[in-house]
Amino acid sequence: MMGDKMRTISLCIIVKDEERFLERCLNSVAKHINEVILVDTGSTDRTLEIAENYNAKISHYEWINDFAAARNNSIKQATSDYILVLDADEYLDEDTDLQTVLITEKDHYTIRIKNYLSSGGAIFHPAVRLFKNHRGLQYQGRIHEHLNVEDKSLGLSHEFADVLIHHDGYKDEVVQEKEKHKRNIAILLEEVEKNPSGYNLYNLGTQYRANHQDEEAITYYKRAFELSKDRLYIQSLLYNMIDSIRRLGRHDEASNVVNAAIESFPNHTDFHFLKGRIFEELDFNNDAVQAYEHCIRLGEVELFQTLEGVGSFLAYVRLGAIAVEKGQYVLAFEMALKALESNKYHMPALRLYLEMMKKTNIPLKTMEEHLRNIFSVANVTDLKHLIVVLTVIKSPLLQQYIDLYKLKLDPSVSMIARLYNRQYAEAVEIATKMDDIKESETNDLFLLAYISNSEDLAGAARKPLNFSIKEWKQLKSFLQSKPEDLGNISEPVANIIVFIAEQLLNLQEEDLFNQCISTIQQGPATLTIKFCHMLIENRYSNIAMDLLLAEYDKNKQNIEWLELLGDACTQENQDKDALSVYNRALQLKPEYRIYEKVYEIYIKLNEHKEAGLIKNEIAKLFPFVEWAKA
């Protein structure tokens, strides 16, 4: 044993035009390493200048579309006891202690890499990035290169290490910038032709999947599966293949494959989470709840590739979303709180938390106190997250935080803050000076135009939208309260109208909201349905019921109309009436989600015999439903 002797470490890195990331990467390892071996494949930006500031040993290498060759060129120059391999868009976690890890003197160490996604989530995957020099380890594979650690002749020792690497390179904007998909697919197609190994086929499938070419991805995953059943990446292969099948809407096939995967890997949380997603998309909410609750019991996956949060905050948020759909807002609030306890920076959890406080009429003062408990705003990250979410949910608290911290924000955020704080004149003043209006800002501008009766603002909001002349005429008719021109309204226009109505409710603009109702009532049934969905979601089922009953005779053959009326009756605790309406809907079409609602009403009424009959009918009609077979 080397005792307390420090092990020397070489950082080996290959680069091309990495000025955006390189300094962060080199800063993260500065106190851990003894030398930087940097192999440049043709940089034309400030990459080499940054590397020189860290005394890197720079060499130039002609790129030959072979990552393994470039990696091997870098590691052969290393002179230290151990080699650490990073990419420029990666960085070492600040809590890492490499010397403590290396006390065991293993030949190679598997460490965790956290890949950040544009969605705000992250995927963990294990990889060998820390290994002993001069032990015959070499990279293989022109792309998705990997070390020959499975070469039995080398007699290598190994362990999992408590090391975390952060990686930004999977974010959409970075991938698009580097055209990684196009480059990687071309290389991998050549690799597969030369060597159709399970690993090469898996990597090609994953590259197609990342480029949203799911059909092609599934083809290569299926070929890879037969060659990969004993490989460490098999769970990742199965997960990606099932998720691609799900994304194509082939839910029956996805259900069959995910059940087979769970049978083989019963404790791999990701499969149960994916099963929950499939159930949700089928409207099998009871089964989805069971799947997500099982995820929480299993917890997070430690040593294999995994989606961060499947055993904690992601599962809680999905449970919260289902609770919202069922009108169980207190439960949704509890789920959001549990998600935030796991990860306070998870945007969907914070959004759900704040939205449930708003929908349950918790006073602003209380909301502010809750937020202070979660976010002490001790750092910029806390404040940034709060501002983003408060902007998204249109909270009047946004203006309070802007005033408190004297923030200078984008005009669109300032406009939203004023608008939802009912400072309409100030919001109009800001809006009229906005030049580059984005599509994401148009709904708020249309709302402000409606409140201020401003044709100019409405015209400005129209510019980023690809509206037809007919659609623009329909929207103008609504904005001017001329329902006779609404006609057969398009979905984008209907969405804007319902958005305006919902925000008028939140802003407590009663007169303008009643004006909305008057206009919507004279529009088409599709608009009324969207409007009533919104009303029920916001617990204004009494208004929805009045609107739906007023036009019942005209729409009693419309299953969506009937289901909404049943939902309104349920929210008003008129359970017998709800049963009558739901059963009428089921006579028209046996939709699963309506059966589930009928079952839950019978349980609520303690009519267990009738509930049992419905449960048996569900099991007979919907073979993929699991809870009804128990």
Per residue in 201-257, pLDDT tens? 999 999 999 889 999 999 999 999 999 998 989 999 999 999 999 999 999 999 999
Q: Do 86 and 79 touch, CB atoms closer than 8 A? A: no
The pLDDT confidence band at residue 4, using thresholds 50, 70 and 90, is low
Q: Hey, is 167 helix, strand or coil?
A: strand
**Cα separation, 4 vs 19, whole angstroms:** 37
* Range list of H helices, 20-167: 22-29, 47-53, 67-75, 98-101
pLDDT more than 90, % of the chain? 83
E strands, 54-169, are 57-60, 82-85, 90-92, 108-116, 122-132, 139-140, 146-147, 158-167
| pLDDT of residue 487 exceeding 80 | no
**Cα separation, 47 vs 10, whole angstroms:** 19
Q: Do 416 and 507 touch, CB atoms closer than 8 A? A: no
Residue bearing the bigger pLDDT, 121 or 275: 275
**Token pair for 297:** 């019991």
Mean per-residue pLDDT for 318-322? 98
**Is residue 394 left, alpha or beta, with left meaning phi > 0 and alpha meaning psi from -120 to 50?**
left
Secondary element (H or E) of residue 306: strand 306-307
The pLDDT confidence band at residue 147, using thresholds 50, 70 and 90, is very high
Please name each of the domains of the chain with its CATH number.
Answer: 9-174 (3.90.550.10), 176-307 (1.25.40.10), 312-409 (1.25.40), 428-511 (no CATH), 524-630 (1.25.40.10)
Q: Please write the tens of the pLDDT for every residue from 397-414.
A: 999 999 989 999 999 999
* φ, ψ for residue 321, nearest 5 deg: -65, -40
Nearest to 596 by CA among 252, 284, 322, 281: 284
Residue bearing the bigger pLDDT, 112 or 183: 112
Mean per-residue pLDDT for 262-276? 98
**Cα separation, 71 vs 145, whole angstroms:** 8
Mean per-residue pLDDT for 591-616? 97
Mean per-residue pLDDT for 587-612? 97
| pLDDT of residue 425 exceeding 90 | yes
| pLDDT of residue 1 exceeding 50 | no
**Cα separation, 478 vs 328, whole angstroms:** 33
Task: Give the list of residues 6+ apart from residue 361 with CB closer than 8 angstroms, or none.
Answer: none
Q: Which region among 520-524, 553-557, 570-574 has the lowest average model confidence (pLDDT)?
A: 520-524
Secondary element (H or E) of residue 236: helix 234-247
Q: Which region among 139-143, 222-226, 260-264 has the lowest average model confidence (pLDDT)?
A: 139-143
Mean per-residue pLDDT for 11-28? 97
Q: How far, CA to CA in Å, does 14 sit from each of 48, 80, 362, 422?
A: 11, 18, 54, 54
* Range list of H helices, 65-194: 67-75, 98-101, 172-178, 180-194
Q: How far, CA to CA in Å, does 346 sit from each of 165, 378, 385, 464, 577?
A: 20, 17, 9, 30, 40
**Cα separation, 508 vs 240, whole angstroms:** 46
The pLDDT confidence band at residue 173, using thresholds 50, 70 and 90, is low
Which pLDDT belongs to residue 176?
56
* Range list of H helices, 2-134: 22-29, 47-53, 67-75, 98-101
**Cα separation, 213 vs 199, whole angstroms:** 19
Residue bearing the bigger pLDDT, 1 or 136: 136
Which pLDDT belongs to residue 416?
97
Which pLDDT belongs to residue 323?
97
Which pLDDT belongs to residue 514?
96
Nearest to 164 by CA among 308, 3, 374: 308
**Cα separation, 611 vs 609, whole angstroms:** 5
Q: Is 159 exposed, middle or buried (0-12, 13-18, 19+ CB in 10 A)?
A: exposed
Mean per-residue pLDDT for 560-574? 97
Mean per-residue pLDDT for 378-401? 89
Which pLDDT belongs to residue 2?
47
Q: Do 284 and 306 touch, CB atoms closer than 8 A? A: no
Mean per-residue pLDDT for 106-116? 96
Mean per-residue pLDDT for 111-118? 90
Nearest to 104 by CA among 166, 162, 29: 162
**Cα separation, 347 vs 496, whole angstroms:** 24
The average confidence (pLDDT) of the chain is 93
Mean per-residue pLDDT for 44-67? 96
| pLDDT of residue 280 exceeding 70 | yes
Q: Please write the tens of the pLDDT for every residue from 71-103.
A: 999 999 999 999 999 999 999 999 999 999 999
Q: Is the dihedral of CA 400, 406, 411, 412 positive or negative?
A: negative
| pLDDT of residue 177 exceeding 90 | no
Q: Please write the tens of the pLDDT for every residue from 330-365.
A: 999 999 999 999 998 899 999 999 999 988 888 888
Mean per-residue pLDDT for 499-520? 96
